[in-house]
Chains A and B, each alone.
Chain A
């Protein structure tokens, strides 16, 4: 139980990578709060799984792009976890794809607000507790799109590249307080989205991955768990690419 006594908040923590991370944190002994924005069904299923792990767990509905909602989320999480979170995983993200020339301005704004501004708001609110404790771990979930670009997802790629730059800058700002800030860049991951793709497209995507297959949410969570664990005490400001050799950065 390397994370016993820790309090973690995972945004977008009720499915996929976020849920696998929340479960891993719970199994490692942390108390865990998860936020969700859209599906109450996913949330109740996730909370049942977290409860089954025996951990102290709490769910909160919050749109991370809404500053008032984020403040409420942190207040609730602190209440439910018995103190402010000292582990923050910024995983919540949305996509609204389209070629830039034709992309509605609102689709640009919404993706930047949720994926970049949302993570920044969460960092801001998490830092006071972390600085007071002189210990904290922040992990931002980014994407190969931030490094390679992605046609039809310029808003998402820009938001994630911004989040990489935020990760590095914030890592420098708070290092002296024992707070590390890192990113994990998951490649193709076995999720509902991937399951909806046509087989031919799937095969084409798998070919670009050296390991020839998508990753699992648990394989991404393992990297996040490493970054918040004592084993990563000398790691900050970096991105861990967990993409089966898609980018090789």
Chain B
């Protein structure tokens, strides 16, 4: 899948799935998803795990993988591409 389109889809999912009060375009590609930036905490990450697993048909089995996948939007895009073998 086209990386740019996937990045847009991920941001859309973040905003709609986690009901964020920002526009998808305002999410910074390289900034951490959890922590200060978007006001999300580690418990919100549980919901993102579920959303990402369902949407992209992959598995984020534990915290180690989750930390890597959710380091930033770019990292999440990279993770999805990798898991799909693209």
Chain A residues near B (Cβ < 8 Å): 127-128, 131-132, 173-174, 176-177
Contacts and interface: CB of A to CB of B under 8 A. Distances in A.
A64 B53 CA distance: 24
Nearest to B49: A128
Q: In the complex, which of the residues B46, B49, B53 has the most CB atoms of chain A within 10 Å of its own CB atom?
A: B46
A132 B43 contact: no
A177 B47 contact: yes
Q: Is the contact region of chain A dominated by helix, strand, or loop, or is it mixed? A: helix
B36 interface: no
A228 B76 CA distance: 36
Contacts of B49: 128
Interface of B: 43, 46-47, 49-51, 53-54
B50 A128 contact: yes
Contacts, number: 17
A174 B47 CA distance: 10
A129 to B, nearest CB: 8
B54 A132 contact: yes
B43 to A, nearest CB: 6
Contacts of B54: 132
Given A174-B43, A174-B46, 6 more contacts: A127-B46, A128-B50, A128-B53, A131-B46, A131-B50, A176-B43
A132 B53 CA distance: 10
13 contacts: A127-B46, A128-B49, A128-B50, A128-B53, A131-B46, A131-B47, A131-B50, A132-B51, A132-B54, A174-B43, A174-B46, A176-B43, A177-B47
Nearest to A131: B50
A166 to B, nearest CB: 16
Contacts of A176: 43
Contacts of B47: 131, 177
A131 B54 CA distance: 12
Contact of A173 (B46, B50, B51, B53): B46
B50 to A, nearest CB: 5
A117 to B, nearest CB: 16
Nearest to B51: A132
B40 to A, nearest CB: 12
Nearest to A127: B46
A206 B65 CA distance: 52
A40 B46 CA distance: 37
A173 B42 CA distance: 10
A157 B49 CA distance: 34
